[in-house]
Amino acid sequence: MRLQSLRLMNTGLVRISRLEPLGATLTHLTLSAQLIDTIPPLPLPNIRELYLHDNRILKIEGLSQCVRLEKLWLCSNRIRKIGGLESQGSLRELWLQGNLISSIESGVLKHNPNLEILAMGKNNIANLKDVSRLVSNLPLLHNLSFSDPNFGECPVVK
């Protein structure tokens, strides 16, 4: 199978499974507006773009085999903490608007030196120290947002 892109939106999908046959060729995967609450280990070494927005995901996990991942959309989930991105050295865009993140731990994105865009609108981040922690570890970061016209603002904006 030579499938490069798979998009499933609002189909009632509860879990991600049986992607092994697509692992060698799949570069874009969209599973948005589903009922997914867990990211299992994804056997997708060539995936570049992963869109899992509008789900029920609680934790960033299962991405260790996604070593070429460049874009990750996890907007509108139930994520409380940034983590699980140690193998994503190629990550350039991380979209986390509309989650439940209240702080950013020091060095949490240190394995993502190529990160250029980090969108954090409508989370519970209220401390300016979290902003400085991010900027010091991400030399290529040029777009960091805590406000989004579609999602809203973090308390830190006020």
The CATH number linked to 47 is: 3.80.10.10
Q: What is the mean pLDDT of residues 116-133?
A: 87
**Cα gap 28→6, rounded to integer Å:** 6
Show the tokens assigned to 39.
């990211």
- The predicted pLDDT at position 158 comes to 83
Torsion of CA 17, 19, 20, 24, to 10 degrees: -160
Q: Which residue has the tokens 């989650």?
A: 99
Sign of the torsion formed by the C-alpha atoms of 111, 80, 11 and 93: negative
- β-pairing, 28-32 vs 152-153, is unpaired
Note the pLDDT tens digit of each residue in 10-32. Answer: 999 999 999 999 999 999 999 99
Domain range holding 108?
1-158
Residue 135 has pLDDT above 80, yes or no: no
Specify the number of domains making up the chain. 1
Q: What pTM was estimated for this model as a whole?
A: 0.95
Q: What is the mean pLDDT of residues 31-35?
A: 98
Note the pLDDT tens digit of each residue in 66-83. Answer: 999 999 999 999 999 999
Which residues are CB-neighbours of 112 under 8 A, at least 6 positions away? 85, 88, 89, 91, 94, 138
